[in-house]
Amino acid sequence: MDFYQRVTMVCQAIPSGKVATYGQIALLCGCPRNSRQVGYGLNKKMTEDVPAHRVVNHQGYLSGAQSFETYDLQRRLLEAEGVEVSSDQRVDLKKFGWHNTMEDAYAFRALFEDLI
C-alpha cells in the first residue's frame, strides 16, 4: 500500500472534533520520519475526501501555508466541529488531540496493521 494512501486512510480515521499532528500520522503510517511528506501529500496529492483541516503541527499550530482557499478556512472548519482555536491560530492538543497516549496510538496501529 502506497504511503500516501495510508496517509489518506489515517486522516479519514480522525474523528470529528479532534486534531492529529503530522508526526502522528507519519508514525501511524509506519514511516515515523515522513512528517514532511504528510504535509506534502495533504497539500498536493489528495485533498479530496480527506479532512486535512484536522491536521496540525506538533505544537498545535494550524498550517501557516496558504493551501486552504481562504486564510481562515481551516480555523472555521475546526470551530464548526467544536474545536477551540486561539487567536494565534493554535489548538490545545491536551484537549483536542487525537490519541494523547502511546497506548492509543499502538491500539490504532494494531487495528490497521494489515493494511500497512
Partner DNA sequence: ATACTGACTAATC
Partner DNA sequence: TGATTAGCCAGTA
Select 8 or 74, whichever has its Cβ closest to DNA.
74
Shortest gap between Cβ of 53 and DNA (angstroms)?
A: 6
Give the integer Cα–Cα distance in Å for 1 and 103. 24
Q: Smaller CB distance to DNA: residue 40 or 108?
A: 40
- Report d(CA 57, CA 39) in Å as an integer: 9
CB closer to DNA, 61 vs 112: 61
Residue 111 beta carbon to DNA: minimum distance, rounded to whole angstroms: 21
From the CB of 69, what's the least distance to DNA, in Å? 10
Binding site for DNA (CB under 7 A): 3-4, 21-24, 33-40, 42-44, 47, 52-53, 55, 57-59, 63-65, 67-68, 74
**Distance separating alpha carbons of residues 109 and 68, to the nearest angstrom:** 29
- Least distance in angstroms from the C-beta of 45 to DNA: 8
Reading the block at residue 115, the C-alpha cell is 493494511
Question: How buried is 33 (Cβ within 10 angstroms: 0-12 exposed, 13-18 middle, 19+ buried)?
Answer: exposed
Query: Is the distance from CB of 54 to CB of 42 less than 8 angstroms?
Result: no
